[in-house]
Structure formats: structure tokens, C-alpha cells
Structure 1
Amino acid sequence: HFFPLRGLRCLLFFQSFLEILYRTSSLLVFFASKVLICVVLFQWEVVQKTLNGSQFYAYSVCNVGEPEQDNWLRTTFIQRRPSASRIFVELQFIVRDCNSFDASVPCKETFNLFTSESDADVGTTFRKGQFKKVVTIAPDEITSKNGMRINTETKVVDNLSRKGFYLAFQDIGACVALLSVKVYYKACTATVESLARFPETVAGSENQALREVKGECVENAQSEEVPRIYCTADGEWVVQVGHCQCKPGYEKVGDTCQECQPGFFKAASSDGKCEPCPANTQGLEAGAAFCPCMDGFYQAPTDPITGPCSGLPTAPRDLVATTTQLSAGKLLLSWSPPDDTGGRSDITYSVECQSCEGGACRPCGEKIRYEPASAGLTLTRVTVSELDAHLNYTFIVEAHSGVSMFAGQASARAHKPPSTSALTTSLHYTDPPKITSMTVIEKSVTSLSLSWDVSPRPRLHAPPIRYELTYRKKDDNLDVTTYTVLILEKSSVQISELAPGTAYLFRVQALSSDGSPGGSSIEEQYETLHESTSASILAAAVGGAVMLFIVVVVLFLKRNSHSRQGAEDNYFSKQLKPLKTYVDPHTYEDPNVAVLKFATEIHPSHITKQKVIGAGEFGEVYRGILKVPGRKDVAVAIKTLKPGYTEKQRQDFLSEASIMGQFTHQNIIRLEGVVTKFKHAMIVTEYMENGALDRYLKDHDGEFSSFQLVGMLRGIAAGMKYLSDMSYVHRDLAARNILVNNNLECKVSDFGLSRVLEDDPEGTYTTSGGKIPIRWTAPEAIAYRKFTSASDVWSFGIVMWEVMAFGERPYWDMSNHEVMKAINEAFRLPAPMDCPSAVYQLMLQCWLQDRSKRPRFGDIVSLLDKLLRSPDSLKTIADFDPRVSIRLPSTSGSDGSPFRSVSEWLESIKMSQYSENFTCAGIINMDQVLQMKNEDIKNIGVRLPGHLKRIAYSILGLKDQTSTLSVFAV
């Protein structure tokens, strides 16, 4: 209702309901319950109209017949929420058609919206000079004599900064009626997304299209990084980063984390549900992270903590010994599997032999041979050889599983554990023993010294052995052959008065107890030395010395010839250019031409967005599906351009596609196409399931072998060799810019900082500004802004370190200034833990100060291929010093250790997730930590090999630490 105020040309508008409304579309409306509208100069009139059977009131003016109209309406003081710098004014109004008046009447069909800011209410004081025009309002629908047409317009008032403001409406000669005014601002309402709580946030202006908002995890949830989300200018939440997950022992129920019920567990932080306790375990308490084994059941160290527990296997059955070759002392032991394996499939067997004489038994010793082995057997049989005759043997066969170590070893040998079967058997055979081998002990021009070995003899009541040795000259004329026969009491002999340089055939055979030859014999050929042997040896030594001298001279001359080349020539030696050379899209006068030349245009209808997976520099990044007619559907990543972009932002956004579209290599991210001919520009690339390499390695710390990691590096190096061959410099090579697919194939991506080399191999790209990733950039690129393939090689060395360190941050928590100072003082990153020596040596080559001496990417690929072809070359581990690789704080605890608490120590080595494990195990101070051994670390629940090694090496470093060390001191 409108009411005139006596004595003033003003009207007071009372709203029939409170105009502070919350809408589901996140539009927050604010409006004072009383709005004072003052009439200045010429009075607007309150009129009552009927529309569609309902009465409404309007504030109107229609002085079109009078010249120089200047009629104003002003609201009362509207207080502004401090963060609401951008407000919306929604108007409903009617404007009459000027054609319905006499042609001579100076009629208009528009009116103006003004605003004025103030820190206090000025009452009825009104000065036109204080108001600033916002916009001229024109109707879309003009009211004629035949019908009334209501217009609705929404205008934006931006950049408000004071405590409140006024709105004013100016009429300069129109016939207009103002029906409704709503003033509101937009906000993203308070919400819980992926277990992260975000507060209500006022939307930003057009210049701030995305406003970052930090949130916090709900109770009993956690996140590796602070959860963030973006509030758009339209009051909508988009692109959440850092999802929260329920802690171990809690499951997601709606927007909360509730503890697992007794009998259920959840071992890791995740969005998953609690699971029932597996077989042979028990969950007695709520909120369990794992279910302990029942009495009599166990888990192996390699078993997942979330798996079932197993019992011990029973004894092998039906153990039988069968004689295979009596005279050779062989037995075949065979048995049947246990009746009960304890629920495990990793059953193995071990065989123990004991020999018994005079009622006493002792281990058979190392002379006994087992085929295929005495332990770790997966088959139910084994052949035992080298057994002596006339002895009793006891064979003990034991069944093992992954959990046998927890109980089987605790049983006394006199009382065999339930997984053991035993058998006693004997071998009986007569003399003579077998001759097993013959060797030359010493030889000269006229003599030979020989010895031979025999099979084992019984230890008791065995008669002495005599041998018959027969020898003759080896002669082609067999008509007349002279044999010499010797009867010997021992298994060695020296034969003299032989002919120089002559071959002889020797046969030895053991004699039976009656003196007759028996058993097996062995024959060998040996030759006496020639009289000229000494002279030959001397000549060979002289010849070798001469050859060595020639090799040294050749190498010296070759090195001098290399030294005559320039330092730059050594690195940038002339080589064949590839058939295809990279073309810089920035050389095109119209960047759109470059996009069309190097990228395929895709119709938006062929792209289906599925899920936001990140926020790029220019907008959100989605996972989606590309459906092109005639092709199989493929998973893709979709980069989008945020609303309100400038033309320069659009060109910069699409320039990356112009670069990517020129590359075709299995280790370079593949461009599927672009969308440029429609309102929303997009770049579509292949989808890499495992995301960025640094994050993937952090999530799988210690789970890959050195061979697998070197395979990843080989792929990255191959991609960089391809780019280098195309005369292209990346400038931002880092593990964060390497993407990984399901096959662990690594691909180079992110070409935002990349630039082209000139045709000259010495050409460099020099930039006058811009951000440089200091930790990954070569010193000459930092100092002189010069980027070459050699500087990319330096960056590749840092990537190698990141990969072998499972995503560790290069130079740890050193500042950029400290990093530059350290590099200039010749400091280089130390070898990561368990890094092969050959790999670390390649890193050091990549970090040579003289860029001309760094290897090329082709050399790097060749070396990595060589390492992969010879896995044994990766077994030699580079020296590792935990005092350097795991940085220590600058403060020292009262107990003399460099840490005040166990949690502080774990946080310094990035192992804080095990704080609760140490606390539950009663390890609450650093003195207790220093006493821990590898078994103790395993027993508190550290199972991943990489984590186990990191903690163990850190403890080793603390034990050797006598004073606080820094990287530079070391």
C-alpha cells in the first residue's frame, strides 16, 4: 500500500510481508520492511489497477504533455552486507506506447536507474549530484490502449563498498508505472559436499568468476589436504578439491561418519562401508579398524590386515621312502598332503635328515643332496642322495604355511608340532665305493700329481680302501700299447719320469675287499708341460704389455681430438633433423587459424561430461565420453573455459591445443580435438585413469620395484626425446605434469609454459618475465632465462629423483632462495632410499653445471633400455644417508633426540598416519623409538615395504645423530 506523507511530496511503501527471502536457487533477497520513496520536482501518483481479476498498486507518472520533465523516486537507506559488493535490482514496470498520444507531444519510452552509496542514512535529504547513473531502462513490451503489458528487467549494481546505498528512478518524459522493486544478492548456501563442510559464501563479481572457499571435514573424517571448493558468480558450488573420507573404523552415512558396529571393521580412510569381520577373526568393539585373529589362528606378514586368519596345517600323510639307486645312495621320499591345510593355499614342505649311529642321532650335514631342494617344496616328493650305507636315517617332513612361523617354531623338537611326519630307514650296500672325480694337483715337464674323490663310506666297521691306477701314453698306434699299473692305499699319487709335452690316459678304480677290481671307474686325459712353456709365457706377457700401451695411446689421441671441439659443440653436435618440426602457434597472426590447422573440431553433441576431476588454469576439467559416429566410444578428459573470459584468455587456452595437436607419440598426451565454433570452448584429450604421476606415486609408496620405476622413466625419456627431435623445449617438466594410465604408461602433458627452439641447435628461448619452477629448472635457465633441451634434461633428472623417491618434494621444505644458493654451491639431491646406483649416476649427469656435458635424451633412452635389459644392474644400491634424505628440525628434545615427540618425528618423515599405531603399542617417547627393530615396526602394523624402510632408516639415522644437522652441514 502507498500512503502520502502530509507536508512532503513522499510516499511510504509498507510491504505486506518481510522481504528477506531465501530461494532454492541460492539467491538471497534482502529488502527493508519499509522503503521510503520520495517524489522530487514533479509528483508521481499512486494508482490502483485491476489485472487478471486482482487489484494491484503502482507508482506512476505520465506528464508527457509537459516539457523538460525530471521526476525522481528514491528508496530509503538500504544496508549492505559487507561481503555483498554486487547486488541485483529486479524491476516490474509498465511503459505506455508514445504512438497512443498526439504526435506533437514530446513523449519518451524509457526511464533511468541511479544509485548512491553512503555510510549513514541521510533521511529525506536529496541531491541529484550524489547519484550515479546505472543504466537506462527500456521496455520489451509497450502498453497500448488495448491492453496492459508488464515488463520485468534485472540490472546489476557492482563494486559497492560502503555500508549502504540508495536507489533512485528518474523519469524524463515517459508514461511509466513502477509495480515492483526487488533488491538481492547471490550467495552459495552453506553445504556439505563429500564430507566437507563449507560455509555460506557471497558470490563474487564478474571479475572474480570463481571464489575459492576453504572448508573442513565433518567429525571423524579426514583429508590429506584442506578441502576447497569454488563459488561461481551465479551462486553455485563447482569443482571441489580435496575430498574428505571417513577415518578407519568409521563409515559414511549421509553427510556424517559413524563408527562401525561390533563385528564390523574398516581398515583405511575411504568412502566405503564397514565390512563384516572375515573368517576366524573377532570384532568385539565398535569403531574397529581391523578384526584381530581368534585364539589358534594367525595372519602371515604378507597377508592383508583386512583378510581372514588361518590355522596351522596338519602333518603330511603317508610318508614313504623308496630306494632308487642303492649303490648310489639314493632314496625317493614321497608323502600325501595334509588333511587340513588351515584354509591356506600357500602350503610348502621341508625335509630334515638325521643320521643315527650307536643310538645317537645328529643332523646329516651339508653333504646330503636334495632334489629339487630341502625346503620350500611345493611338490610332495623329494630325492635324497649321497647317503652312506649301513646307517639308519630319520627323515622329518614338515608342512608349512604363511602362518607357521607364529606357532610351529614354538614347539620343542622332541615333541613334534602337528605339522610334522617322521620316517626312519637304512641303506645297505657293499664295497667298493664309487670314484666320483679326478683332478690334477700339479704338473711339470716330466711329472703329474693326481687326486680323486670317492663316494662316502660307512662310519663304522668299514675296511680301508685300495685303488688301482692304470695309465698309458695316448698313441694312435694301438698295436703296441704299454700300460703301467699301480696299487695305492690313498686317493692321490705323483707320477714322475714322464715324457715332456706328452698326453697320458689315466684310469682309477677302487678295489673290493678281496683285492679284485670292482665298482665304477673313471678315465681322464692329462698332458705334461712342454720344455718351451716358460718362454711362451714370457712372450705372452710382453705381447700383452705392448697391446695395453697401444690402447692407452689411442684413447689419449681420441680424447685430445674431442677436447679441440667447443664446449657447446660437444652437446649440440650437428645431427639429422627430424622430418617433422614443431611450429609455434604464436607466429600466426590469427591464433584461430593455428587451432584449425593442428586440431580437429568436435561438435559438442559428441561430448558427454560425467564428473569434475579438477580445476585448471582456465576452468574446470571433466572426465567424459567422446561419441563420434563410426568410432568406438572413448573416455576423455575435457578442459573447459570458465565464463566471462576475455579474448586473450580464449586464445591462450586454445594455444595449448595448437601445440598438442602437432605431436604423435605414445608417451605424449594425445589430443582428441577441440570445440571452438560454439559458445563454450573445450579441449578434449585422452583420459589417463591414474592422474598425475607425483600424486600416484605418493598414494602407492613402496609398492613398485626399481625395475618398474625405471620402466616409467624410460617412457618419459622417450616422450622427451621425441619433443627434442622436433626442436621443442618443454620448460615445465615435472612429475606433476606427467600423467599415468592403467597400464602404468607415463605421458608428458601440460604445454602451457612450452616454447619452440630456433632452427639453429644453439637457439634458445629467452623470456623477460613469468614464473619459473625453481626446483625443477636448470641454473642457466634461472639466471639468464635461457631454455634449451639441455635445461629439459636437468628437469628430467629432478623427475627421476621424484619417481625413485615415490613423489617426495624435491629439496624438501627448503625455500626457493635456499635451493638456488645450494645448487650454486654444488649441492645436489642425495640418492633416494633403495635407488639403484646406475640410476643415481644418471641423475648426477643430468645435473652437471656445464650444460654441454649433460646427456641428450637419446643417450638417456639408450641407457635406460640397457638397464631394463639387464635387471641385475639395478641390484647395486646407491649410498643412502637418512640424515640428508630425511630432513631434521632445528630444535632438540629434552631427551637428546632431535625431536620433542613421536608425532613430531613421524610428521617430519611423512609417516604421521602411523601415530595411532605407535600410541596403541605404548611407544610414547623417542627413547622407546630408538630401541625399535624391524620386527617391532612390523608388529605395530606397518606393513607396506616402502613405509617400513622409511621408518627403519630414520631410526638408523637418529641413532647415528649426535647433533642437529642441516642439509648444508652434511
Structure 2
Amino acid sequence: MCRPCPAKSHADSAGMAECTCIPNFYRAPSDRPSDKCTETPSSPRNLVAKVHQMTSVVTLSWSPPLNHGGRNDTYYNIECARCPSDVRFSPSDRNLNVLQVNVSRLASYTTYIFNVYARNGVSNQASVVRFETVNATTFSSGFTLRFWDFKRLRYKTDSFNFEFIQLPSPVRGIIVRKITSTSVNLEWEVPEFPNGEIISYQIRYYRQDQPLTDGKYLTHTPTFGNIQEKLIENLKLLNHKYIFQVRAQTKSGFGAFSHPISTTSTNSDNGAAFGLGMIVAVAAGAVFILLAILAIIYWSVRRSYSKLDDRLYAQIPLSVRYWKGKDPLPSTEGIIYSNSNGEVALPQLTKARTYVDPSIYGDTDRALKEFTTEIEANSIRIIAVIGGGEFGDVCSGFLRQADNSNRKVAVKMLKPGASEPDRNNFLLEASIMGQFLHPNVVELLGVVTKTRPAMIITEFVANGALDTFLREHDGQFTMIQLIGMLRCIASGMRYLSEMNYVHRDLAARNILVDETLDCKVADFGLSREKEEGAYETKGGGKIPVRWTSPEAISYKKFTSASDVWSYGIVMWEVVSYGERPYWNWSNQDVVQAVEKGYRLPPPMECPQATYQLMLDCWQKDRLHRPTFGTLVSTLDRLARNPSILMNLAKIRENPLDTAIQEMSKFQNVEEWLESMKMSRYRDTFEHAGYVKLRDIAHLSANDLPRLGINLVGHQKKILKGIQMIRARIDSSGETFV
């Protein structure tokens, strides 16, 4: 049959078997000869590059081309000529069928040019492929947001200044390459994100049996290359263990110290090998004789005390228990060994350090001597009272250190006239804190027990309690910043759980925030009366009901899994900017609702991924809850992929929500506003004609600024109340008057 040529094609002569495409039009290899000819698509439209200030992740987004070339197989490719070889495009940089992509692993302070190409099935045949170009300049990949309180500096104002500080990230891969009896050779990799030119490295080292304040510092000038090394001499490694940390410095200041690494002596000091060998041989002989004597004593004691009562056994010193064969002696932890290749290996028999309950000592002073450092009272200068607790005041002050420098500290003082049990309970927290050393756990510097009043000296954390801090800065942080706070808390709790320590009172009020938004786990037993109604007596102990897991309330089963439940509540507090969990419910209502399966709804503007993590923490079966290690990994993944956080969680249908049921008690808008402590807007609603509850059920977020409600925190609280009214109407069909 003879037919006309398809669109955009022509025949060179009559009766051609296949028509030829006109210039700039083509057929794809998969097209039939009878198909029309098509062209390449026009360039993408509205190409925008957004650079995340905290992570320097570039988000490219665009609109489809106006002309798809007469085809429906349009896809997109991305090119970046200056991007590093390990740059990461998510989901991809080729054959994209989406209109957005995240670009990560970019260098700091660098301008990149991105070309986004629109292609289709005939683009490979065309000599010109259309694209759109956009520039993007990264910030620091380790941005830190610092808050300066003007009121505490110079200006009489309640406003805050926000200053971005670009600090280097921690150094990586710190190891010990060579150890002698008097020296250590440290090696480390440069920070992943230098965020500027590194001026120097600072090395801090101290003996394990000495406080951190007695540590010494060395400066290392950077050398060319990715690996840095420093020889530290004049050490006494034969009988002591040393702790080492390294941090980088740029013009903006010091970055964070690396994780501590510890080491003891080795026999690699060839110059002293002979003399040292003689000493070791003599010592080995003495030890052998001592062991033989102890073995004889052991068999004699075992026959005499084979039926020793368990209550008496608990009072036997740890070394004797070892010879009785029930409790192993604590193994040496943290020792670093180097093999012939210079590689570091940890012995398999070494156990991780574990928490020791100070109460087993029976005497508080013995526990303090074991785990804390005594500080002279005259080296502390009190500045101001910043808080209070069950046992006394919390003050800010300065501690004069060994090098005569002053360090700002927090001082917890025992109230005058306290009883001996109160003193013991007060100092119990210090003997607990003294066992921990982690950047996300509040650091104990020492105690004052030889003079009155007794004091606990800790590091000073500038922004105070997390719940109060969030309420004061409602709506002022990005979700990535909130994720960063949660990551700090999870990291601190991971460390504590690995130490086999159960916190039992994890809540936002017991988390402290420093000036760089780093969060630190605090409150290991000091205060139990800071928040009215937070603690309820259960069988002789005080339990924070709203933060406590069901098995801990019902069966007093406190484990790391119950801390994970509490962490889920903390996540909810952080995302809701310090909202009280379960609002104004009674503790009894909370227990009953949770037992029936109720879980807190997602806060406003809460990402689905974040809320799902909360629900995972609130699994009824504690064995199904994630560990803190898993939580840290998940939060890291969320921070590296901000696009995951764009999908917001929705309130589940027909929730078992006592707060919604409480709405039936309100007769008018005035009572409703008073329940939320928003009575200041009573006249605003009244003048606008909103008197009945059914009237405000139709309000949206766009209506509130029109009414003069401009504060973000107040808008969120009122919108949450409106949502509850709507849910009540939908679930029960009630008509409010």
C-alpha cells in the first residue's frame, strides 16, 4: 500500500520503502519505519541548587522541559566537571526519571557547576543535547551553629545572635605505631573535613590514674600528606597507662578531640632489653613462688569454707573471690599491641570497661576515692546560682587548674544541715559520673568532701537543660540540627549502655546543651524534684512515669531497652520543641493508655522517618526495640540524606487520644485557649467572630497570621489544638456549641 510519509519525514522519490526524517528529527533504533520522526527535548526549566548549611549537601531540582520532542521517554543526566572522584549522587547522576537529586561528599568552600541534560530515545543521534546550568558554592561540611547570648555579654536585649563557626572535624584513625618504655609514636589521619587550612595539631595525654586536669599538651606542626605522626618522649610507661587524644586547629579554632586511645609499655626498647629482661626474670620467679603459696592457702581455705554463706561471700574482697573461682578479676582494658607489620591489634581476652555500682563498696568515701579526684575548696570561685535540686543549689564558677588557668565549671553544692544519708546520696552521683569519659556525657572534674559544704564539680554546659532551651527557641532550628542533637544523645547513651549502665531517667530535662548545640547526658542521681508531677512513687522508688517503659513500670525491669523507650520520648520532646509528653494527662491515664497500645502522635512537621524511629523505640516487646548503636547509625543515615526528611508524618486515623476526648469538656473558645495557656489571644478570636468551637475547627495555618498570631511556637500550639478538635468531630460526630 502506498501511504503518505509519517510526520517530520519525506520521501526522496515516489514508492520509497522508508521515509527520511527531516533535519534535526530522528527515529530511535526501536522505532518502526512507519513511526513519525521526533526531536530531542528542550532544556530543563527552573533549575535550582540549594546548599545545606550544615552538611554542604547540594540539592538540585528542576521542572520538565516544555517540549519533550514528541516522545514520552524523557530522562535526565547530570554532569559536574569539578566534582571530586568520590562524589555521590542520590539517587543517581544518569538515566534519572525524577526531578531532584542530592549531591554529597563535596569539598568545603568550593564553587561547582552542574549541567542538567534532558534526553530521550533519539538524543544519541543528535549533535546537540540541550541542558541547563547552575552554580553552587558549598559551605563547611562540619558547620557548627553557635549561640551568643547578648544579654550575658554587652547588650540589654533578649535577642540572640547566630554565628556560624567552621571548625575542623575530629582527626581519624589515631593509632600507636611504636612503644618503648619511655616513648610513644602516634599516627593519625587528617580530618575528613578540615574546613580551612590546618595550622597545627594539639596532642593531649595524661596518666590513667591522674585527673584530666593534670594532662599535658604538645603541639605538632602539620606535614605534607594525609598521615601525621608525633613522637612523645619522657614517659613512664613501665608501670603506668597513658591516655592520648589529638585535635586539629584552624583560624576558626580547635575542633573536637579524637576518641581517647590508651597504651602501656612494651619490650620494643632494644637499648634496655638486657637490663629489663633481668628484671622481668627476677619478677617472674617471685610471682611463681607467690602463686605457689597462694595456691596452698587457696586449697586450705576452700576446704574450710566450702559452705560459705552467700551473704558473707558478698563481703569478701574481689581478689579472694577470684581464688574461690566465682568472680574473675577485672581484665586490663584498652591496651594497644603492635605486630611486626606495625598494625595495631587488640587481644581477644580483653574485656570492655564496665560500670561498677558504687553501693557495693558499702562506704561512700571509699567509692569516691576509687572513682573521683579530690579538689581543694580554695581553688573554686562561685559566680552565680543557676539552678537547684533536691540536695542543694547548682552554681556557675571557675576552677583554678594546675597551670594556674581558670576553667568555667558547674558546681553542685550540698545544702546546709543535710543529713548523712543525704550527703551519701548526693555524692553517689559523683562516684557514678567519675567512671564515664565521653564527649556526649557530662564530665566530672572532681569533688570537695574535706570541707563543708560538699561539692560536685563538673564541666560547664552553657545552654543548660535541653527542654528549656528548646522552648526558648521554638521553631528556630532546622530538622538536620534537631537530628544532630538527637545523634549526640544517642551516642552518649550508646557509650553508657556499652558500660552496662542503665540511666533510668533519660529525659530532655536531664540533657544539657553547649554553645555548639552538642548535647550531653546528665543527671545520674542528683535531682528528683525538679519537675512537679514528673516522678511518682512506686513501691518505694520514684519513677518518671511519662518517660518509663511499660515493663519498668509494671515489673521494675530496668534495662538498656527501657532506656531506649525513654529515648523515644526524648526524640518526641526534641522535635516538638520541649512539649510535655502526654500533655496534661494524669500519670494514671498515661499508664492505662500505653498499656492499651496508645503511642504519642507525630509532632507538627515531623518527618516520617523520624517518627518511625520513635515508634521503633516504643515497641511493647523490649527485645524488638533497636539498640543505641542502631539508633546512632540510623540518625547518621538521616543526616547524610536530607531528602529522606522531606516526607512528613501524618497523624494516624482514629487514635486512642485522651487529649481529644478532653476536648468535649470545653464549652467555648475561651476555655479552649485557657487549657493551652493561650488566653492572651481571647480578644483576638472574639473580635474576629470566633466564639464557638465549631467555628475554629475550619481555621488553617494561613489564617493565624491574619489574626495577628505571628509567633511560630504559639501557631504550632494553637494548630495542634485545632487538629484535636477536628479529630474529635470526625471520630464522634459531635457538634460543639
TM-score normalised by structure 1 residue count = 0.39
Residue 570 (structure 2) aligns with: 799
Counterpart Cα distance in 1 of 2:434 and 2:520: 15
| 2:515 aligned with 1:748 | no
1:942 partner letter: I
Give the 5 Å matches for 1:289-688: 438-440=26-28, 442-444=30-32, 450-452=37-39, 525=125, 579-688=352-461
Matches of 2:37 and 2:402, distance apart in 1? 85
Correspondence for 1:784 among 551, 555, 569? 555
Partner of 2:5: none
The Cα shift of 1:934 comes to 3.6
Q: Residue 775 of structure 1: which of 518, 523, 546 is its match?
A: 546
Identity of aligned residues (%): 49
C-alpha deviation, 1:576, in angstroms:
9.5
2:280 pairs with 1:693: no
Partner of 2:288: none
CA distance in 1 between partners of 2:36 and 2:29 (Å):
5
Match in the other structure for 1:947: 714
Q: More strand by proportion, 1 or 2?
A: 1
Distance verdict in 2 for CA 1:700–1:435, change over 3 Å: farther
Change over 3 Å in CA distance of 1:964–1:915 after alignment to 2:
farther
Residue 692 of structure 1 contacts residue 739 of structure 1 at CA under 8 Å; is this kept in 2? yes
TM-superposed deviation, 1:436: 5.5
Contact 2:654 2:731 in 1 (8 A): no
CA contact 1:623–1:635 (8 Å) conserved in 2: yes
| In 2, Cα distance between equivalents of 1:610 and 1:726 | 35
Asked if the contact 2:358–2:431 (Cα under 8 Å) also holds between the matched residues in 1, the reply is yes
Amino acid at match of 2:489: I
For 1:887, give the aligned amino acid. A
Structure with bigger gyration radius: 1
1:701 to partner: Cα distance:
2.2
Instruction: Report Cα offsets for 1:688-716 as digits up to 9, x if no partner.
Output: 22221122222222222222211111110
Q: Look up the SS of the partner of 1:673 in the other structure.
A: strand
Letter matched to residue 443 of structure 1 = D
Residues 913/670 of structure 1: CA separation in 2 closer, same or farther (3 Å cut) = farther
Tell me whether 1:814 sits opposite 2:581 in the alignment: no
Tell me how far apart the structure 2 counterparts of residues 716 and 932 of structure 1 sit (CA, whole Å). Answer: 37
Contact persistence 1:731–1:753 (CA under 8 A) = no
Contact 1:709 1:803 in 2 (8 A): yes
Conserved 8 A contact 1:887-1:908 = no
Partner Cα distance (1:683, 1:454) in 2: 71
Q: 2:653, 2:583 → 1: CA distance?
A: 13
Give the letter for the 1:736 counterpart: R
Task: Give, in angstroms, the shift of residue 920 of structure 1.
Answer: 6.1
Q: For residues 748 and 787 of structure 1, what CA distance do their matches in structure 2 show?
A: 18
Contact 1:615 1:621 in 2 (8 A): yes
Distance in 2, Cα, partners of 1:630 & 1:931: 66
CA distance, structure 1, for counterparts of residue 447 and residue 41 of structure 2: 82
CA spacing shift, 1:524–1:742, aligned 2, 3 Å: closer
Distance 2:41 2:621 in 1: 66
> Unaligned 5+ residue runs, structure 2?
1-21, 43-68, 72-121, 127-347, 528-537
Q: Distance in 2 between the 1:523 and 1:589 partners?
A: 81
The change in CA–CA distance for 1:939 and 1:582 in structure 2 (over 3 A counts) is same
What residue number does 1:900 align with? 667
CA contact (8 A) 1:435 1:454 kept: no
Bigger relative contact order, structure 1 or 2 (CA pairs below 8 A, ≥6 apart) = 2
User: CA 1:439 to 1:664, structure 2 compared with 1: closer, same or farther past 3 Å?
Assistant: farther
The AA in structure 1 aligned to 2:706 is N
SS at match of 1:609: strand
Relative to structure 1, is the Cα distance of residues 576 and 772 closer, same or farther in structure 2, using a 3 angstrom cutoff? Answer: farther
Distance 2:663 2:724 in 1: 16
Tell me whether 1:887 sits opposite 2:656 in the alignment: no
Q: What is the identity, as a one-letter code, of the residue corresponding to 1:440?
A: A
CA distance in 1, matches of 2:646, 2:580: 25
**Quick one: distance in 2 between partners of 1:441 and 1:448?**
11
Tell whether the 8 Å contact from 1:672 to 1:684 is kept in structure 2 after alignment.
yes
Kept in 2, the 8 Å contact 1:441–1:451? The answer is: no
Contact 2:663–2:728, Cα closer than 8 Å, also in 1: no
Give the conservation status (yes or no) of the 8 Å contact 2:427–2:456. Answer: yes
The 1-side partners of 2:70 and 2:387 are apart by: 82
> What is the match of residue 723 of structure 1?
496
The 3-state SS of whatever aligns with 2:505 is coil
Q: Per the alignment, in what secondary structure is the counterpart of residue 639 of structure 2?
A: helix
Give the 3-state SS of the residue equivalent to 1:887 in structure 2.
Answer: helix
Deviation at 1:654, TM superposition (A): 0.9
Q: 1:964–1:838: structure 2 CA closer, same or farther, 3 Å change rule?
A: closer
Q: Is the 8 A contact 1:607 1:626 kept in 2?
A: yes
Task: Indicate the SS of the match to 1:941.
Answer: coil
**TM-score of the two chains, using structure 2 as the length reference:** 0.50
Distance 1:643 1:876, change over 3 A: same
Q: Residue type matched to 1:452 in 2?
A: E
**How far apart are the structure 2 equivalents of 1:733 and 1:492?**
61
**Which residue does 1:850 correspond to in 2?**
621
Relative to structure 1, the CA distance from residue 621 to residue 913 in structure 2 (aligned partners, 3 Å threshold; closer, same or farther) is farther
Write the distance in 2 (CA, Å) between the matches of 1:492 and 1:886: 57
CA distance in 1, matches of 2:441, 2:360: 23
Change (3 A) 1:752 1:957: closer
TM-aligned CA distance change 1:605 to 1:523, over 3 Å:
closer
How much is the aligned-residue C-alpha RMSD, in angstroms?
A: 3.5
Give CA deviations for 1:245-298 in whole Å, capped at 9, x if unaligned.
xxxxxxxxxxxxxxxxxxxxxxxxxxxxxxxxxxxxxxxxxxxxxxxxxxxxxx
Structure 2 vs 1, CA of residues 577 and 751 (structure 1 numbering), >3 Å: closer, same or farther? farther
Moved more, 682-691 or 940-949: 940-949
Return the alpha-carbon distance in structure 2 between the equivalents of residues 927 and 891 of structure 1.
Answer: 12
Q: Distance in 1 between the 2:412 and 2:595 partners?
A: 39
Q: Distance in 1 between matches of 2:420 and 2:628?
A: 37
SS at match of 1:752: coil
Counterpart Cα distance in 2 of 1:732 and 1:642: 23
Which structure: greater helix fraction? Answer: 2
**Contact 1:890–1:964, Cα closer than 8 Å, also in 2:** no
Say which SS state the counterpart of residue 28 (structure 2) adopts: strand
Q: Given the superposition, is the C-alpha separation of residues 852 and 727 from structure 1 closer, same or farther in structure 2, using an over 3 Å criterion?
A: same
Partners of 2:693 and 2:41 in 1: CA distance: 61
- Contact kept, 8 Å, 2:429 with 2:524, in 1: the verdict is yes
Change (3 A) 1:790 1:578: farther
Distance 2:40 2:646 in 1: 38
Contact 2:372 2:430 in 1 (8 A): yes
Residue type of the partner of 2:391?
F
Alpha carbons of 1:701 and 1:916: their partners in 2 closer, same or farther (altered >3 Å)?
Answer: farther
Unaligned runs of 5+ in 1: 1-433, 456-490, 494-521, 527-574, 755-766, 893-897
Per-residue CA shift, 1:97-131, capped at 9, x if unaligned? xxxxxxxxxxxxxxxxxxxxxxxxxxxxxxxxxxx
Give the Å deviation of 1:859: 0.6
Deviations 1:838-895 (A, max 9, x none): 1111111111121111111101100111011101111111112698679246475xxx
Tell me by how many angstroms 1:450 deviates: 2.8
Q: Which amino acid aligns with 1:806?
A: Y
Deviations 1:336-392 (A, max 9, x none): xxxxxxxxxxxxxxxxxxxxxxxxxxxxxxxxxxxxxxxxxxxxxxxxxxxxxxxxx
Structure 1 residues 752 and 693 mapped into 2: Cα distance closer, same or farther (>3 Å)? same
